[in-house]
């Protein structure tokens, strides 16, 4: 068993958390006592943040709806379809029909690149984010 110091990805507070790893699996989360942001505290999301990692319902590959059912597809197929649909919608709506939703689990740098993709490439200011704490 070992404990790995990391940062909780669930919101912008950035609390310090130790993840407990046992035999290649993450089995627990606990606060970092000396972390300058959280000082031995985590909210309920932080205490449970390890639970999604190995959850059987976690989506780990692209899915596309075909014939009414979600089926696994390759990344190439998923990205080609998405790019084609974004181009079609942008053309049909003069870019007003496109909106992008990012994640608190991304880094600041990833979210910066995300909004650049939205504004510079897809020509939309419809950008939002799930972290509303």
Taken in order 37, 42, 43, 49, the sign of the CA dihedral is positive
Q: CA nearest 100: which of 80, 115, 85, 87?
A: 115
Q: Give the Å distances, CA to CA, from 76 to 63, 73, 107, 126.
A: 12, 8, 24, 26
10 is an interface residue for ligand SF4 by CB under 6 A: yes
62 is an interface residue for ligand SF4 by CB under 6 A: no
Q: Which of residues 22-51 bind ligand SF4 (CB under 6 A)?
A: 38, 42-43, 45-46
Instruction: Please tell me the count of residues contacting ligand SF4 according to CB under 6 A.
Output: 11
Q: Which two tokens stand for residue 12?
A: 């912008």
Region near ligand SF4 per CB under 6 A, out of 13-21, 52-60, 74-82, 93-101: 13-21
Residues that bind ligand SF4 (CB under 6 A): 8, 10-11, 13-15, 38, 42-43, 45-46
């Amino acid at each position: 068993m070992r404990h790995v110091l990391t940062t909780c990805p669930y919101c912008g507070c950035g609390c310090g958390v130790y993840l407990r790893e046992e035999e290649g699996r993450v089995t627990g989360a606990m606060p970092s006592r000396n972390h300058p942001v959280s000082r031995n505290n985590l909210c309920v999301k932080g205490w449970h943040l390890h639970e999604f990692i190995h959850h059987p319902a976690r989506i780990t590959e692209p899915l596309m709806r075909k014939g009414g059912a979600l089926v696994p597809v390759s990344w190439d197929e998923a990205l080609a379809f998405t790019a084609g649909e974004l181009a079609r919608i942008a053309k049909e709506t003069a870019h007003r029909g496109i909106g992008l939703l990012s994640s608190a689990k991304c880094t600041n740098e990833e979210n910066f690149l995300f909004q650049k993709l939205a504004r510079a490439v897809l020509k939309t200011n419809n950008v939002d984010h799930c972290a509303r704490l």
